Amino acid sequence: MADRRLKGKNIIITGASSGVGAEIARLCAQQGANLVLLARRIDKLIALKEELQHHFQVDVIACQLDVSNTTEIEEVFQEVFKQIDRVDVLVNNAGFGIFREAHEAEVKEIKEMFAVNVIGLLACTKMVLPKMIATRSGHIINIASQAGKMATPKSSVYAATKHAVLGYTNSLRMEMVRSNVYVTAVNPGPIATDFFTVADQSGTYVKNVGKYMLQPHDVAKKIVNSMLTQTREINLPRWMNIGSVFYTLFPQLVERLGKKAFFKK
């Protein structure tokens, strides 16, 4: 029997136009959830909305949103709130990275990564928290990264943004205990999405780790299964998370032994 835990729930997903975000939307719709799809590519959102409404009896709102623009975030969320009375789950999925060594990173790129991965995530969360606190229910799911636990060469800025996301998420989780709102961090390794068309323009990283990449559907399934449950973290794949734990305990040793592998980006 299908899991109907999410039936009738209102779920907002940023970065919903493709990859993990789109897969989350499909899985939620299968369970009868109503969806708010947010992303920059409105054409893809509309196509996904039509797909979901064709196959499932759910309400779907699609809105164009650039999460790097905090004014736009406020305006779009206020419009969404005119159409839904509560928010049950917010999935902060929007994000991007560019792999460069620190001295090569352009200030413009640095600002853009922090604007999307950190400030945008915080701003979207801030919009829904009052509603969740008022109803004493809800779930914030922040897509971070294994890079937020263990930084590697050529990902200094991206790792810094994901460290920030994890710090915010951990603090928010403790604050929200009083309001019965769940907060989950998702820390995936590399996923086979178009993320790497921007992050890894040389193709080197994908070539070296392609066979180890996670599939978007598998990651989305783990996330959807955690919705409205008290799940602290989702770490994928397990073997990579073991490396992150080992790094926390023995950072100098890991940096020395893993030096060659880390430079495969």
Query: In the chain, how long is the greatest CA-to-CA distance?
Result: 55
Nearest alpha-carbon partner for 176 in 141, 229, 137: 137
Residue 23, both tokens = 């897969």
Residue 221, both tokens = 């399934």
Residue 7, both tokens = 């039936």
Residue 42 DSSP SS3: helix
Q: Which residues are known catalytic residues?
A: 158
Return d(Cα 67, Cα 225) in angstroms, integer.
Answer: 25
Annotate 198-218 with b (16+ C-beta within 10 A) or e (fewer). Answer: ebbeeeebbeebeeebbebee
Residue 54 to residues 35, 37, 50, 90, 177, Cα–Cα distance (Å): 14, 16, 6, 23, 38
Return d(Cα 84, Cα 104) in angstroms, integer.
Answer: 45
